[in-house]
């Protein structure tokens, strides 16, 4: 049996692995891949479709760019079975027709925003309790202090001025998030950068945030004073490239400059997300010491897995110098939730 016929059978059967689909497709021509992409959609076999895309993305793009497939993508989004769409977007974005690229980009953006809402929930409240005098309808009481006042008054009648309550006040935080988008990040990693940005925006909607992407040079995607809409921020990340060297020192300088533009007396926090594998600039620890507080989420390196010990050590040194938390993750998918855990602490 020819590879084409065998692959056609396997697609319809829907019990093979991605590795198996890809192996059978590796010697097939453009038209065969294009036809089998249609069969994969008709058979609702997403694993086969993505395996064909890895074998010949141009053939798969030629098939899927047809307007008749718009309903297919919309249906997958509604069913919340859309995890393949962002991956497909990064595979086709450099060569696909603009209309097809924009359609997948809009869906990817919606997927990111939906996922970040699930992760952030109601967000990081960022509120502190302050003692206040009683007033009718006060929601919280400080029973210990109220009881103490009552005893101090000789266990006589309790007066309004003896009753102490709590009032929650929003603590405005100024947070600069610095995201590593150097050559060690690509595709799904940029997706997680967008997701992380979205989580931060939802969780800190009542605070002030700045987003800095960096590789060889830092780029301020959003300053603390900007009010860029979240969809625009996500699109900018999705359109960016994960290229270049890694210069953590310059990113920290840029982040510190952002915080220094804020009047003194306000809460100023830096959050660095990187694998620590800098190959340009000096050691970043001396600059980290200049931050009021700098926390580090240590993401794994995809390229230099054998050097992760060096990167982890550098990340720990940065966090220690910045008097902040060090949070390691073993998978890029863990970054948004690690960020939520960090925001709950600060």
Cβ neighbors of 176 (< 8 A, separation 6 or more) are 209, 210, 212, 224, 255, 258, 259, 269, 270, 271
Pairing mode of beta strands 164-170, 140-141: antiparallel
User: What pLDDT, in 10s, does the model give residues 66-106?
Assistant: 999 999 999 999 998 888 999 999 999 989 999 999 999 99
CA dist 213 and 326 (Å) reads 20
The total number of structural domains that make up the chain: 3
- Asked whether residue 19 falls in the same domain as residue 141, the answer is no
C-alpha distance across the termini of the chain, in Å:
62
The secondary element (H helix, E strand) that includes residue 213 is strand 208-214
Residue 111 and residue 19 in one domain: yes
- Whether 71 and 148 map to the same domain: the answer is no
The DSSP H or E segment spanning 176 is strand 173-180
* Segment of 125-134, 156-165, 300-309, 337-346 carrying the highest mean pLDDT: 337-346
Please compute the mean of the pLDDT values over residues 108-132 and round it to a whole number: 73
Rg (CA), the chain: 26
Query: What pLDDT shows up at residue 163?
Result: 77
Question: Which residues, in sequence order, are CB contacts of 337 under 8 Å at separation 6+?
Answer: 119
- The residue-averaged pLDDT of 16-36 equals 92
Task: Summarize pLDDT for 269-324 with one digit per residue, the tens.
Answer: 999 999 898 889 999 999 999 999 999 999 887 655 555 688 899 999 999 999 99
**Average pLDDT, stretch 4-28?**
91
Render pLDDT for 164-187 as a digit per residue (tens, 0 to 9). 776 655 567 899 999 998 865 556
**What is the CATH classification number for the domain harbouring 316?**
3.40.50.410
Residue 136 pLDDT:
66
| 51, 17 Cβ separation under 8 angstroms | no
Contacts of residue 95, Cβ cutoff 8 Å, sequence gap at least 6: 57, 58, 61
Reported as type and span, the H/E element at residue 169 is strand 164-170
> Do 9 and 107 share a domain, yes or no?
yes
111 shares its domain with 26: yes
**277 and 207 within one domain:** yes
pLDDT surpasses 70 at 258:
yes
Tell whether 78 and 137 lie within a shared domain. no
Q: Looking at 33-42, 149-158, 268-277, which range is the least confident one?
A: 149-158
CB 85 within 8 A of CB 76: yes
Q: Could you tell me if 95 and 136 lie in one domain?
A: no
- Which 8-state DSSP code applies to residue 280? S
Q: Are 132 and 113 contained in the same domain?
A: no
Please report which helix (H) or strand (E) contains residue 178, including its range.
Answer: strand 173-180
Q: What is the model's pLDDT at position 150?
A: 63
Whether 334 and 198 share a structural domain = yes
Dihedral sign, Cα of residue 28, residue 29, residue 30, residue 31: negative
pLDDT at 181: 86
Residue 14: CB partners within 8 Å, gap ≥ 6?
43, 44, 45, 48
Distances (CA, A) of 220 to 176, 178, 278, 342: 10, 9, 19, 22
User: Are both 232 and 338 inside the same structural domain?
Assistant: yes
Supply the pLDDT for residue 12: 94
Integer CA distances (angstroms), 103 to 89, 100, 108, 265, in order: 9, 5, 9, 45
Dihedral sign (CA 231, 263, 129, 169): negative
State the pLDDT confidence band at 203, using cuts at 50, 70 and 90. Answer: confident
- 301: domain range? 173-345
pLDDT of residue 252: 97
Query: pTM for this structure?
Result: 0.78
What is the predicted pLDDT for the residue at 3?
A: 81
Computed over every residue of the chain, the mean pLDDT equals 86
Indicate whether 191 and 328 sit together in one domain.
yes
């Amino acid at each position: 049996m020819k590879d084409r016929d065998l692959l056609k059978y396997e697609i319809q059967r829907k019990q093979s692995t991605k590795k198996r689909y890809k192996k059978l497709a590796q010697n097939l021509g453009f038209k065969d891949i294009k036809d089998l992409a249609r069969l994969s959609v008709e058979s609702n076999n997403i694993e086969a479709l993505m395996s064909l895309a890895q074998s010949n993305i141009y053939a798969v793009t030629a098939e899927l760019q047809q307007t008749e497939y718009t309903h297919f993508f919309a249906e997958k989004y509604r069913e919340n079975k859309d995890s393949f769409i962002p991956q497909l977007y990064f595979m086709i974005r450099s060569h696909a027709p603009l209309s097809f690229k924009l359609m997948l980009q809009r869906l990817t953006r919606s997927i990111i925003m939906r996922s970040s809402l699930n992760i952030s929930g109601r967000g990081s409240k960022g509120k502190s309790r302050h003692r206040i005098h009683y007033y009718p309808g006060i929601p919280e009481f400080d029973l210990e202090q109220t009881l103490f006042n009552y005893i101090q008054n000789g266990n006589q009648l309790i007066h309004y001025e003896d009753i102490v309550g709590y009032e929650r006040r929003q603590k405005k935080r100024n947070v600069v998030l610095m995201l590593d988008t150097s050559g060690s990040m690509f595709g799904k990693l940029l997706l997680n950068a967008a997701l992380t940005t979205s989580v931060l925006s939802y969780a800190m909607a009542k605070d002030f945030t700045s987003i800095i992407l960096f590789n060889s040079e830092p780029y301020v995607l959003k300053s603390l004073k900007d009010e860029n809409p979240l969809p625009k921020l996500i699109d900018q990340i999705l359109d960016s490239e994960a290229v270049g060297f890694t210069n953590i020192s310059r990113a920290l300088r840029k982040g510190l400059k952002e915080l220094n533009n804020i009047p003194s007396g306000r809460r100023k926090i830096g959050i660095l997300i990187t694998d620590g594998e800098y190959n340009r600039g000096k050691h970043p620890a001396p600059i980290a010491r200049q931050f009021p507080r700098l926390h580090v989420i240590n993401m794994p390196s995809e390229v230099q897995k054998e050097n992760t010990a060096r990167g982890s050590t550098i990340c720990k040194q940065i966090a220690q110098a910045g008097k902040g938390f060090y949070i390691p993750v073993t998978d890029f998918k863990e970054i948004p939730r690690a960020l939520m855990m960090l925001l709950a602490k600060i």
